[in-house]
């Protein structure tokens, strides 16, 4: 019997497709799928993995005018920041981890909350209008976002001008090291929370309406519907996004931070991306920049693998299967 | 239906109201600043204003003069439309392949896709590749390197996987091929994710300037984002390296920036409502199931 | 290598000239390609600089001086002299790469000015224009791609001497000494600028000249008058008093905007060295001086007194806009070319009155010595060409682009065609038309340019004001002894090290760190980059001393 296993994964699992079927058979079965998917895969490999070979410069004293073939190999010298106890690196690493933690806890879930709030509104028009407004800040570049915060909340901004002109004590928010992480977090929420709702709203729209109708008939209230239908349906995509976010743990808003670094000093504001920028990139140290990139990638892989495993433990799909 | 809880309703309205105000006030200020006359701007100490005074379009006139922006606008629209269409096709095909459990080759390819999210190629190798492929100064150089975004593939794949199994089962029983299942069944119930991923791609194509900066050598092929960048950089970097020539004052830099922002936002604002229709409303999967 | 250098220095001090020959011999032996490829001042000083032959076709109202005062014109010359007699190129096309600060112009098919320029040059000039903020990245990829445009603006970049030797053409045969006579407009550029284009014992580019005065201290004369304070505060205490009188936070007005500008002003006031101080071949960086500490102390005092804009440390602060709006009364240090910009920006503001302020020494007894600029924006390198005639053609084109102020060529390059790109008023003032503003933004001025000239359209008195000011402040000057030397550390490690230093200083000024931590910062900067830079510069200086 020629079972189209591709369309019937449940059956495929039962008969152990991987074990018994030979590669050739699986190929002829799935060739249409492969044909559909291959163009994208080829382009991705060509434009991503081929230039990735260039990361070999992490082991070189690379200069653009000598090129990869002629630049001398210098072993692991570009990675020496890992073990030479450079305090500025350790400080950048610590700040990065703190910021990642804060952002994962406080920034990452906001779009989900906002999406739930929006989707609970009755009027379709109102919903769309609000959504259109909330996603606007995403389109501002960081320079503009930083400038706007400065204009509104800066020491000579709209708020403080008002306070000073009315003989009230002024209110220093920007340029205060203790508030720097809070400032970064609020800016990140302001800029991207609305935009982040889009994926969740799409996921909500895919929830089978029959489930809601059936539960309403059974007398479930709004909370129960949220708890037993909506949230479980969003769990998969939420965990997926979370794992991907964790893979990028060591990247925290480079542009946003570099623009505001001068205000609060390096102690509070130096993160890994700004550190490598200040230490390597602006000085044209290509090799070291590539080395830091590689280290970040490896950490990212470990994070994704760990998080994915954890997800499996809890019976979730994660990003990929075992 | 149970009675809506008043307290919850009030809290909801307040939360949404505040969020909306936090966005609207700065945006109102952006528009007002882009229109304000010189005097009003000066009174605000070179900052942003909440009221434009004697509104003027001079900042817009200064951006649109000479036809460079108009040409770039057409180029950008072309690249965005073509790029988004190609990206969606490539991404959907790839995501569909990877979403079918146990499909031939899916596992290694999935790992490659995932890996490309975590490893980033350097500036120079990417440039050399584009150069070796003879794509320099070609519009393809703005599309092909960013044709497939791994994040989008993974999200789309996740959506495909969430589709109820019965959909495929019934189609299979009817003897449909993979392609038919994709176009006749998966696509219609996946409008939401197509709208979202399409929007992601479109926005990325629309805003991208850096690849154009590296790969496009002739200014008459510049997309809008790069043209607009020259306005933003204008006056910012150095103490005006421009001597006694220009006879007319340029609009203040902040105003130009705001006007640029408005100009570059308009096309996206126009597209958005069309896409929104697809993901603001629940899809009747039941209807498809029949 | 550093050991050899050290020995060489000690030898030099004890035994003089004879040891030098030995020393430089040893040095040359270290280089990869032997003699000619080494970027030592010993080889560099052998090269004969292009002769400086000032252009005489147009006479300014006030002449340029050797010391660096810029020539000034009250009015635009009525009779336009021709500085180039032949069309520079005979067909073909040339490609240039440079940064751009203005919106890119329409291409020749829709730009009569550009088409006209091509006709005058005799070649199709294509430009790859890159927003200035992104230039270094474009430059790096272009170099890596190894298909260079004919003319390239060279930014500060690692291993520059080596890069130039590998990829760019040596121009000494064409330009050294009297050879420059073939390109009279390039001969109009002074030696101070040419010196900075010499690497590996050869001339590697065409300097883009800028004013050696480089900065003015701009003030809002109208605000000074309104609050009855003298526009010439003498010394540190008077300056602070003046600043206090001008400041009123309720009115949203402060004396100073950017702390960085204030720092440069106060450094001059405290008579700090211009970057480095040289004595007997030994260098001291400005950071290592008492004057620097004094300056940081002073800024901290000014900051505490509240006379500096409270958002001064923000990267998004826009001092020019604040100055135009009168939010700050003093733009302590701004590019001298901003004069024109302020005048045009405020043409419709009757209250606005522009002034310039001299810098007095700390005790107020005399004018502080003026810190001279390098006088160069960047230089233009030429791609290696197989055919020396192609180099000659390019140089002729650059010679055309460097045509001096008031010539026919200059007028076309900056103002285009009369009646199309600009209009001429009854009193001879040239004004760009809307079309002219859009069309003439092609950044040819970063391939080759005329020396800076003081001229303000329609305001003949400005020539007098600016020239008088320049003469006054330039009575005493200090130059940076490292201008024209190359330090690889300065182009690489120091960029980050200096930023770390500056960020730390900002915290001291704001009182978040004690003044005593300055020593720590300086020490860190020295180990990270400072000492290496010093070594590289000193090595070159000591060989240069014997020229």
CB contact under 8 A, C166 and A263: no
Read off the CATH number of the domain in which A213 is found.
Answer: 1.10.3720.10
In a domain, A60, yes or no: no
Residues of chain C positioned with their CB less than 8 A from the CB of A175: 311, 313-314, 510
Q: What is the number of other CB atoms lying within 10 angstroms of the CB of residue A70?
A: 11
Question: Which chain B residue shows the shortest CA-CA distance from C214?
Answer: B239
B45, B46, B129, C298 from C308: Cα distances, Å: 15, 16, 50, 12
Q: Which of C430, C426, C427, C407 is nearest to C418 (CA)?
A: C430
User: What is the arithmetic mean of pLDDT over A300-316?
Assistant: 89
Is pLDDT of B286 > 50?
no
| SS (HEC) of B139-189 | CHHHHHHHCCCHHHHHHHHHHHHHCCHHHHHHHHHCCCCHHHHHHHHHHHH
Poorest-confidence range of A160-174, A261-275, B56-70, C394-408? Answer: B56-70
CB contact under 8 A, C314 and A175: yes
Tens of pLDDT, residues B121-150 = 888 899 999 999 999 999 999 999 999 999
Of C101, C140, C430, the CB nearest to B237: C101
Determine contact, residues B257/A144, Cβ cutoff 8 Å.
Answer: yes
Residue A222's Cβ-count burial label (10 Å; 0-12, 13-18, 19+) is middle
Is pLDDT of A100 > 90?
yes
Read off the CATH number of the domain in which B155 is found.
Answer: 1.10.3720.10
Determine contact, residues C258/C319, Cβ cutoff 8 Å.
Answer: yes
- Residues C182, C79, single domain; the answer is yes
Of C324, C377, C453, the CB nearest to B241: C377
Question: Which chain B residue shows the shortest CA-CA distance from A287?
Answer: B122
C122, two tokens:
């005799």
CB contact under 8 A, C496 and A88: no
- Residues B104, B51, single domain; the answer is no
Backbone angles phi, psi at C492, to 5 degrees: -120, -90
- Residues C135, C208, single domain; the answer is yes
CB contact under 8 A, B110 and A36: no
Question: Which chain A residue shows the shortest CA-CA distance from C148?
Answer: A65
C312 CA: distance to closest CA in chain B (Å): 14
- Residues A34, A120, single domain; the answer is no
More confident call, A225 vs C43: A225
C165, two tokens:
């030797």
Residues of chain A positioned with their CB less than 8 A from the CB of B207: 139
Average pLDDT of the residues of chain A? 85
The residue out of C452, C473, C494 marking a domain boundary is: C473
In a domain, C275, yes or no: yes
User: What is the arithmetic mean of pLDDT over A111-124?
Assistant: 87
Read off the CATH number of the domain in which C500 is found.
Answer: 3.40.190.10
CB contact under 8 A, A209 and B15: no
**Model confidence band, residue A86 (pLDDT cutoffs 50, 70, 90):** confident
* DSSP structural state of residue C69: P
Of B102, B112, B268, the CB nearest to A9: B102
- For residues C504 and C296, give the distance between their C-alpha atoms in angstroms, rounded to a whole number: 11
- Residues B22, B84, single domain; the answer is no
- Residues B75, B118, single domain; the answer is yes
More confident call, C63 vs B276: C63
Where does residue C146 fall: left (phi above 0), alpha (psi -120 to 50 degrees), or beta otherwise?
Answer: left
- Residues C171, C62, single domain; the answer is yes
For residue A13, what pLDDT is reported? 40
More confident call, B240 vs B261: B261
The structure's pTM equals: 0.88
3-state secondary structure of C198: strand
Residues of chain A positioned with their CB less than 8 A from the CB of B30: 148
CB contact under 8 A, C131 and B241: no
Of C252, C492, C510, the CB nearest to A283: C492
- Residues A133, A256, single domain; the answer is yes
Residues of chain C positioned with their CB less than 8 A from the CB of A146: 315-316
- For residues B57 and C330, give the distance between their C-alpha atoms in angstroms, rounded to a whole number: 31
Residues of chain B positioned with their CB less than 8 A from the CB of A64: 124
**Model confidence band, residue B250 (pLDDT cutoffs 50, 70, 90):** low
Is pLDDT of A203 > 60?
yes
Residues of chain A positioned with their CB less than 8 A from the CB of C512: 177, 265
- Residues A38, A144, single domain; the answer is no
Q: Where are the beta strands (DSSP E) in C212-326?
A: 215-220, 254-256, 276-279, 282-285
C170, two tokens:
């040596």
A269 CA: distance to closest CA in chain B (Å): 23
Of C106, C210, C456, the CB nearest to B66: C106
Determine contact, residues C440/C100, Cβ cutoff 8 Å.
Answer: no
CB contact under 8 A, B122 and A209: no
- Residues B233, B252, single domain; the answer is yes
- Residues B24, B118, single domain; the answer is no
CB contact under 8 A, A117 and B16: yes
For residue B280, what pLDDT is reported? 52
The residue out of C473, C495, C515 marking a domain boundary is: C473
In a domain, A42, yes or no: yes
**Model confidence band, residue B238 (pLDDT cutoffs 50, 70, 90):** very low
- Residues C267, C282, single domain; the answer is yes
- Residues C320, C177, single domain; the answer is no
- Residues A182, A255, single domain; the answer is yes
- Residues B75, B172, single domain; the answer is yes
C437 CA: distance to closest CA in chain B (Å): 7
Q: Pick from C325, C440, C445, C458 the residue to mutate for testing the B interface (most B CBs within 10 Å).
A: C325
Residues of chain A positioned with their CB less than 8 A from the CB of B89: 39
For residue C397, what pLDDT is reported? 97
- Residues A204, A281, single domain; the answer is yes
- Residues B65, B161, single domain; the answer is yes
In a domain, C6, yes or no: no
- For residues C382 and C545, give the distance between their C-alpha atoms in angstroms, rounded to a whole number: 30
Of A203, A205, A240, the CB nearest to B154: A240
B 222-281 residues inside an 8 A Cβ radius of A: 232, 254, 257, 261, 264-265, 268-269, 272-273, 276, 278-281
B 84-103 residues inside an 8 A Cβ radius of A: 89-91, 93-98, 100-103
In a domain, B1, yes or no: no
Of A4, A45, A205, the CB nearest to B283: A205
For residue B86, what pLDDT is reported? 97
Q: Which of A308, A311, A282, A245 is nearest to A99 (CA)?
A: A245
For residue A21, what pLDDT is reported? 57
The residue out of C451, C473, C495 marking a domain boundary is: C473
Q: Pick from A262, A264, A275, A288 the residue to mutate for testing the C interface (most C CBs within 10 Å).
A: A262
More confident call, C223 vs A174: C223
- Residues A210, A290, single domain; the answer is yes
- Residues C225, C198, single domain; the answer is no
Which residue range(s) make up the domain with B251?
A: 60-284
For β-strands C328-335 and C215-220, DSSP reports them as antiparallel
- Residues C343, C383, single domain; the answer is no
* DSSP structural state of residue C403: P
More confident call, A267 vs B102: A267
| Total domains present in chain A | 2
More confident call, B104 vs C526: C526
For residue C36, what pLDDT is reported? 43
CB contact under 8 A, A198 and B104: no
Which residue range(s) make up the domain with A107?
A: 77-321
B116, two tokens:
């490309």
In a domain, C15, yes or no: no
- Residues B168, B204, single domain; the answer is yes
Q: Note the ipTM here.
A: 0.86
Residues of chain A positioned with their CB less than 8 A from the CB of C513: 265
Q: Does A207 touch chain B (CB under 8 A)?
A: yes
- Residues A86, A21, single domain; the answer is no
Determine contact, residues C309/C317, Cβ cutoff 8 Å.
Answer: yes
- Residues A127, A205, single domain; the answer is yes
Determine contact, residues B120/A198, Cβ cutoff 8 Å.
Answer: no
If residue C482 lies in a helix (H) or strand (E), which one and from where to where?
Answer: none
- Residues C92, C104, single domain; the answer is yes
- Residues B84, B122, single domain; the answer is yes
Tens of pLDDT, residues C369-402 = 999 999 999 999 999 999 999 999 999 999 999 9
- Residues A32, A87, single domain; the answer is no
Poorest-confidence range of A243-247, B2-6, B71-75? Answer: B2-6
For residue C38, what pLDDT is reported? 61
For residue C28, what pLDDT is reported? 31
For residue C348, what pLDDT is reported? 80
A25, C65, C294, C295 from C268: Cα distances, Å: 82, 22, 11, 9
Q: What is the number of other CB atoms lying within 10 angstroms of the CB of residue C427?
A: 9
Backbone angles phi, psi at C380, to 5 degrees: -105, 120
| Total domains present in chain C | 2
In a domain, B289, yes or no: no
- Residues B30, B90, single domain; the answer is no
- Residues C353, C254, single domain; the answer is yes
- Residues A93, A161, single domain; the answer is yes
**Model confidence band, residue B3 (pLDDT cutoffs 50, 70, 90):** low
Of C103, C338, C432, the CB nearest to B246: C432
Q: Does A131 touch chain B (CB under 8 A)?
A: yes
Q: Does B161 touch chain A (CB under 8 A)?
A: yes
- For residues A254 and A272, give the distance between their C-alpha atoms in angstroms, rounded to a whole number: 9
Tens of pLDDT, residues B80-99 = 999 999 999 999 999 999 99
Beta bridge partners of A194: none
Question: Which chain A residue shows the shortest CA-CA distance from B175?
Answer: A4
Q: Pick from B39, B40, B44, B45 the residue to mutate for testing the C interface (most C CBs within 10 Å).
A: B45
> Over its length of 547 residues, how does chain C's per-residue pLDDT go in tens digits?
333 333 332 222 333 333 222 223 233 333 333 334 466 666 777 789 999 999 999 999 999 988 889 999 999 998 899 999 999 999 999 999 999 888 889 999 999 999 999 999 999 999 999 988 889 899 999 999 988 999 999 998 888 999 999 999 999 999 999 999 999 999 999 999 999 999 988 999 999 999 999 899 999 999 999 999 999 999 999 999 999 999 999 888 999 999 999 999 999 999 999 999 999 889 999 999 999 999 999 999 999 999 999 999 988 788 888 898 899 999 999 888 889 888 888 888 888 999 999 999 999 999 999 999 999 999 999 999 999 999 999 999 999 999 999 999 999 999 999 999 999 988 888 888 888 888 998 999 999 999 999 999 889 999 999 999 999 999 999 999 999 899 999 988 998 899 999 999 999 999 999 999 999 999 999 999 999 999 999 988 876 543 3
User: What is the arithmetic mean of pLDDT over B13-20?
Assistant: 91
In a domain, C8, yes or no: no
For residue B281, what pLDDT is reported? 52
Residues of chain C positioned with their CB less than 8 A from the CB of B122: none
- Residues making up chain C, counted from first to last: 547
- For residues C184 and C54, give the distance between their C-alpha atoms in angstroms, rounded to a whole number: 9
**Model confidence band, residue A248 (pLDDT cutoffs 50, 70, 90):** confident
Of B97, B101, B125, the CB nearest to A36: B97
- For residues B200 and B203, give the distance between their C-alpha atoms in angstroms, rounded to a whole number: 5
Residues of chain C positioned with their CB less than 8 A from the CB of B45: 252, 322, 325-327
If residue C5 lies in a helix (H) or strand (E), which one and from where to where?
Answer: helix C2-15
Determine contact, residues C112/C420, Cβ cutoff 8 Å.
Answer: yes
In a domain, C118, yes or no: yes
| Total domains present in chain B | 2
The contacts of residue C462 (CB under 8 Å, 6+ apart) are: C339, C343, C454, C456
- Residues C232, C267, single domain; the answer is yes
Question: Which chain B residue shows the shortest CA-CA distance from A37?
Answer: B94
- Residues B264, B138, single domain; the answer is yes
**Model confidence band, residue A183 (pLDDT cutoffs 50, 70, 90):** very high
In a domain, B11, yes or no: yes
In a domain, A22, yes or no: yes
**CA C520 to mean position of chain CA atoms:** 31
CB contact under 8 A, A282 and C249: no
CB contact under 8 A, C250 and A262: no
- For residues C547 and C538, give the distance between their C-alpha atoms in angstroms, rounded to a whole number: 15
- Residues B47, B68, single domain; the answer is no
Q: Pick from B15, B117, B126, B211 the residue to mutate for testing the A interface (most A CBs within 10 Å).
A: B117
**Model confidence band, residue A322 (pLDDT cutoffs 50, 70, 90):** low
Poorest-confidence range of B250-259, B268-277, C238-247? Answer: B250-259
- Residues A16, A84, single domain; the answer is no
Poorest-confidence range of A286-290, B272-276, C316-320? Answer: B272-276
C396, two tokens:
């002729």
- Residues C141, C228, single domain; the answer is no
Which residue range(s) make up the domain with C142?
A: 24-212+375-473
Is pLDDT of B237 > 70?
no
- For residues B219 and B206, give the distance between their C-alpha atoms in angstroms, rounded to a whole number: 17
**Model confidence band, residue A224 (pLDDT cutoffs 50, 70, 90):** confident
């Amino acid at each position: 019997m020629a079972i189209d296993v591709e369309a019937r994964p449940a059956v495929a699992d039962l008969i152990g497709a991987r074990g018994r079927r030979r590669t050739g058979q699986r190929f002829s079965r799935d060739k249409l799928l492969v044909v559909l998917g291959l163009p994208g895969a080829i382009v991705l490999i060509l434009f991503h993995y081929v230039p990735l070979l260039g990361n070999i410069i992490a082991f070189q004293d690379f200069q653009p005018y000598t090129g990869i073939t002629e630049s001398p190999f210098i072993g692991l010298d570009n990675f020496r920041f890992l073990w030479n106890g450079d305090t500025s690196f350790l400080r950048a690493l610590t700040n990065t981890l703190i910021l990642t933690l804060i952002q994962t806890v406080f920034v990452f879930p906001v779009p989900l909350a906002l999406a739930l709030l929006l989707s609970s509104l009755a009027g379709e028009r109102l919903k769309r209008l609000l959504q259109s407004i909330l996603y606007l800040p995403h389109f501002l570049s960081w320079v503009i976002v930083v400038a706007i915060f400065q204009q509104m909340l800066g020491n000579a901004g709209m708020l403080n001008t008002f306070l000073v002109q009315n003989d009230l004590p002024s209110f220093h928010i920007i340029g205060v090291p203790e508030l720097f992480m809070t400032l970064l977090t609020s800016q990140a929420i302001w800029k991207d929370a609305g935009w982040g709702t889009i994926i969740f709203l799409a996921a909500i729209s895919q929830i089978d309406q029959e489930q809601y109708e059936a539960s309403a008939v059974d007398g479930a209230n709004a909370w129960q519907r949220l708890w037993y239908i909506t949230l479980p349906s969003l769990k998969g995509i939420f965990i997926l996004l979370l794992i991907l976010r964790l893979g990028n743990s060591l990247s925290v808003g480079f542009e946003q931070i570099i623009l505001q670094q001068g205000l609060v000093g390096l102690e509070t504001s130096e993160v890994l991306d700004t550190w490598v920028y200040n230490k390597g990139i602006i000085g044209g140290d290509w090799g070291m920049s590539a080395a830091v990139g590689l280290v970040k990638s490896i950490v990212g892989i470990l994070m994704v693998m760990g998080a994915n495993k954890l997800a499996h433990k809890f019976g979730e799909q994660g990003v990929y299967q075992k | 239906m149970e009675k809506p809880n008043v307290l919850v309703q009030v809290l909801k309205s307040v939360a949404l109201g505040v969020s909306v105000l936090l966005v609207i006030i700065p945006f109102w200020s952006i528009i007002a600043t882009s229109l304000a006359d010189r005097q009003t701007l000066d009174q605000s100490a070179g900052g942003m204003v909440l009221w434009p005074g004697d509104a003027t379009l001079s900042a817009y006139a200064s951006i649109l003069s000479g036809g460079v922006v108009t040409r770039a606008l057409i180029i950008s629209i072309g690249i965005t439309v073509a790029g988004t269409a190609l990206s969606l096709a490539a991404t959907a095909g790839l995501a569909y392949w990877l979403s079918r459990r146990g499909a031939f080759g899916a596992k290694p390819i999935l790992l490659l896709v995932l890996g490309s999210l975590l490893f980033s190629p350097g500036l120079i190798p990417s440039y050399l590749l584009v150069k070796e492929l003879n794509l320099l100064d070609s519009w393809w150089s703005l599309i092909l390197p960013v044709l497939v975004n791994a994040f989008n593939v993974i999200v789309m794949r996740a959506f495909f996987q969430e589709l109820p199994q019965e959909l495929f089962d019934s189609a299979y029983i009817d003897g449909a091929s993979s392609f038919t299942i994709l176009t006749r069944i998966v696509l219609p119930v996946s409008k939401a994710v197509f709208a979202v991923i399409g929007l992601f791609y479109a926005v990325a194509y629309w805003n991208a300037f850096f690849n154009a900066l590296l790969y496009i050598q002739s200014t008459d092929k510049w997309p809008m984002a790069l043209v607009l960048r020259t306005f933003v950089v204008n006056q910012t970097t150095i103490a005006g390296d421009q001597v006694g020539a220009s006879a007319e004052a340029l609009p203040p830099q902040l105003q130009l920036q705001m006007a640029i922002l408005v100009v570059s936002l308009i096309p996206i604002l126009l597209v958005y409502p069309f896409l929104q229709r697809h993901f603001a409303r629940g899809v009747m999967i039941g209807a498809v199931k029949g | 290598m550093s050991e050899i250098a050290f020995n060489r220095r000690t030898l030099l001090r004890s035994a003089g000239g004879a040891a030098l020959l030995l020393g430089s011999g040893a040095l040359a032996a270290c280089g990869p390609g032997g003699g000619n490829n080494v970027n030592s001042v010993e080889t560099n000083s052998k090269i004969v600089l292009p002769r400086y032959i000032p252009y005489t076709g147009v006479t300014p109202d006030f002449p340029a001086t050797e010391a660096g005062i810029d020539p000034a014109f009250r009015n635009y010359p009525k009779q336009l002299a021709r500085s180039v007699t032949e069309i520079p190129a005979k067909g073909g096309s040339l490609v240039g790469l440079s940064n751009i600060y203005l919106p890119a112009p329409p291409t020749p098919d829709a730009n009569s000015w550009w088409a006209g320029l091509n006709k005058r040059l005799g070649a199709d000039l294509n430009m790859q224009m890159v927003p200035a903020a992104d230039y270094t990245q474009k430059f790096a990829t272009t170099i890596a791609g190894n298909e260079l445009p004919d003319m390239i603006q060279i930014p500060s970049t690692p291993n520059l001497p080596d890069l130039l030797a590998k990829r760019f053409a040596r121009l000494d045969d064409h330009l050294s000494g009297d050879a420059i006579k073939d390109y009279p407009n390039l001969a109009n550029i002074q030696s101070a600028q040419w010196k900075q284009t010499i690497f590996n014992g050869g001339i590697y580019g065409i300097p883009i000249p800028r004013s050696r005065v480089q900065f003015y201290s701009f003030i809002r004369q109208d605000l000074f008058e309104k609050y009855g304070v003298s526009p010439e505060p003498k010394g540190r205490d008077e300056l602070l008093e003046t600043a206090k009188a001008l400041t009123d936070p309720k009115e949203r007005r402060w004396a100073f905007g950017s702390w960085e500008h204030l720092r440069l002003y106060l450094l001059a006031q405290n008579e700090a060295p211009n970057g480095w101080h040289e004595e007997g071949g030994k260098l001291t960086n400005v950071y290592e001086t008492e004057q620097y500490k004094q300056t940081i102390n002073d800024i901290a005092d000014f900051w505490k007194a509240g006379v500096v804009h409270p958002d001064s440390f923000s990267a998004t602060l826009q001092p020019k806009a604040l100055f135009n709006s009168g939010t700050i009364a003093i733009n302590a240090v701004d590019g001298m070319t901003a004069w024109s910009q302020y005048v045009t920006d405020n043409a419709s503001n009757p209250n606005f009155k522009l002034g310039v302020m001299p810098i007095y020494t700390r005790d107020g007894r005399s004018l502080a010595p003026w810190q001279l600029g390098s006088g160069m924006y960047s230089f233009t390198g030429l791609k290696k060409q197989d055919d020396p005639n192609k180099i000659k053609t390019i140089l002729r084109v650059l010679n055309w682009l460097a045509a001096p102020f008031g010539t026919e060529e200059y007028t076309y390059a900056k103002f285009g065609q009369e009646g199309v790109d600009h209009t001429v008023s009854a009193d001879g003032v040239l004004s760009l038309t809307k079309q002219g503003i859009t069309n003439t933004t092609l950044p040819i001025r970063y391939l080759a340019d005329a020396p800076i000239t003081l001229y303000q359209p329609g305001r003949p008195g400005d020539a007098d004001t600016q020239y008088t000011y320049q003469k006054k402040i330039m009575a005493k000057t200090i130059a940076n002894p490292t201008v024209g030397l190359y330090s690889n550390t300065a182009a690489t490690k120091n960029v980050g090290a200096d930023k770390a230093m500056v960020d730390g200083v900002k915290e001291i000024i704001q009182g978040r760190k004690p003044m005593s931590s300055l020593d720590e910062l300086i020490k860190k900067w020295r180990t990270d980059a400072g000492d290496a830079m010093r070594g590289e510069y000193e090595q070159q200086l000591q060989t240069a001393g014997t020229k």
